[in-house]
Amino acid sequence: MNTLEHIAIIMDGNGRWAKQRNLPRTMGHKKGVEKVREIAIYANELGLKCLTLYAFSTENWKRPEQEVNYLMSLPKVFFSSYLKELMANNIRVTMIGDLKRIPEEARKIFTDAIEKTSGNTGMILNFALNYGGRDEIIRACQKYAQDYKDGITSNLDEETFKNYLMTSDLPEVDLMIRTSNEIRISNFLLYQLAYSEMMFVETFWPDFSCQDLDKCIAEYQMRKRNFGAVK
Ligand code: IPE
Ligand code: IPE
Ligand code: MG
């Protein structure tokens, strides 16, 4: 059995799911939020240590203002509906990305959810929000350079660099899933995905089910992970 502690998902295809139904793109995002709840609760039940979900990229600001505004209203929708349930399931909420650019209301809701769930010992539900892998690496370099100047750190190696990434407290990503049949990682966890298993599924995120997750995990368990060695 391959160890499976951390699954990271690029939740893609909300817009196309809506288009297929002649609905506005925002309705796809609305449905997508319900999926986040369903998959998070299920992944926690499976005993997963960490589930990272790509919710908004540093490039998603390029979308029409109305869509961006709608996306920024979703943390409120999500946490006002489901925070209680997350608490009851012992799930801890964390986030990676730059919160500074997030509108104040959404930012507050997020920090509140992170704080309230900080003592929970179940699965970590980690949202990548205003997150970009390149942005993360550059920030890590800047912070390291400052610490070096200040004499706080000396030699840079992988072990040290890891601590400068936003994922420093999280386990390695074992499995990366992208929905909606796009075969790319866009700007997701560029550093962390070394040696992660990748899965690209056709299902649009709003249609992605617990059974689909089961299938991904079953396929993951069939994979032979070498990490560069001969096994
Ligand atoms: C993913 O769905 C959600 C976000 C990027 C916020 P999309 O909105 O990218 O859906 P498609 O790719 O246009 O179908
Ligand atoms: C990736 O999806 C980002 C999120 C799921 C938040 P996009 O739909 O933004 O990615 P591209 O533009 O198709 O690569
Ligand atoms: Mg997309």
- Compute the distance between CA of residue 222 and CA of residue 50 in angstroms, rounded to an integer: 21
Residue 203 is assigned to a structural domain of this protein: yes
- In tens, the pLDDT along 149-163 reads 999 999 999 999 999
How much is the average pLDDT of 51-70? 98
Residue 231 is assigned to a structural domain of this protein: no
**Helix ranges restricted to H, 89-129:** 104-116
Residue 211 is assigned to a structural domain of this protein: yes
Check whether 66 has a pLDDT greater than 90.
yes
Task: Kindly state the tokens that stand for 218.
Answer: 């079953």
- Total-model pTM: 0.98
Q: Structurally, how many domains does the chain consist of?
A: 1
- Compute the distance between CA of residue 8 and CA of residue 62 in angstroms, rounded to an integer: 23
Residue 146 is assigned to a structural domain of this protein: no
- Given this model, what pLDDT does residue 143 score? 97
Q: Which has the closest alpha carbon to 67: 105, 97, 30, 12?
A: 30
Q: What Rg, from alpha-carbon coordinates, does the chain have?
A: 18
Kindly report the average pLDDT of the chain as a whole number. 98
How much is the average pLDDT of 46-54? 99
Report the nearest atom of ligand 1 relative to the CA of 16.
14
Check whether 141 has a pLDDT greater than 90.
yes
Buried b (16+ CB within 10 A) or exposed e, 79-111: beebbeebbebebbbbbbbbeeebeeebbebbe
- Given this model, what pLDDT does residue 28 score? 98
Residue 93's φ and ψ, nearest 5 degrees, are: -95, 130
What are the pocket residues of ligand 1 if the criterion is a CB atom closer than 6 Å to any ligand atom? 11-16, 56, 60, 71, 180
Check whether 47 has a pLDDT greater than 90.
yes
Q: Which has the closest alpha carbon to 20: 211, 212, 208, 204?
A: 204
Report CA(157)–ligand 2 centroid distance (Å).
31
Report CA(32)–ligand 1 centroid distance (Å).
9
- Do 188 and 54 contact (CB within 8 A), yes or no? yes
- Given this model, what pLDDT does residue 152 score? 95
Report the nearest atom of ligand 2 relative to the CA of 182.
13
- In tens, the pLDDT along 6-23 reads 999 999 999 999 999 999
Task: Give percent of the chain above pLDDT 70.
Answer: 100
Find the CATH number of the domain harbouring 103.
3.40.1180.10
Chain-centroid distance of CA 144 in Å reads 24
Residue 144 is assigned to a structural domain of this protein: no
Best of 9, 10, 11, 12 for a ligand 1 pocket test (most atoms within 8 Å of beta carbon) = 12
Query: Does residue 204 have its Cβ closer than 6 Å to ligand 2?
Result: no
Q: How many residues does the chain have?
A: 231
- In tens, the pLDDT along 89-112 reads 999 999 999 999 999 999 999 999
Task: Give percent of the chain above pLDDT 90.
Answer: 99
Residue 198 is assigned to a structural domain of this protein: yes
Q: Tell the burial category of 50 from Cβ atoms under 10 Å away from its Cβ (0-12, 13-18, 19+).
A: buried
End-to-end alpha carbon distance in the chain = 14
Residue 30 is assigned to a structural domain of this protein: yes
**185 lies in which domain range?**
6-131+172-222
- Given this model, what pLDDT does residue 84 score? 98
- Given this model, what pLDDT does residue 231 score? 79
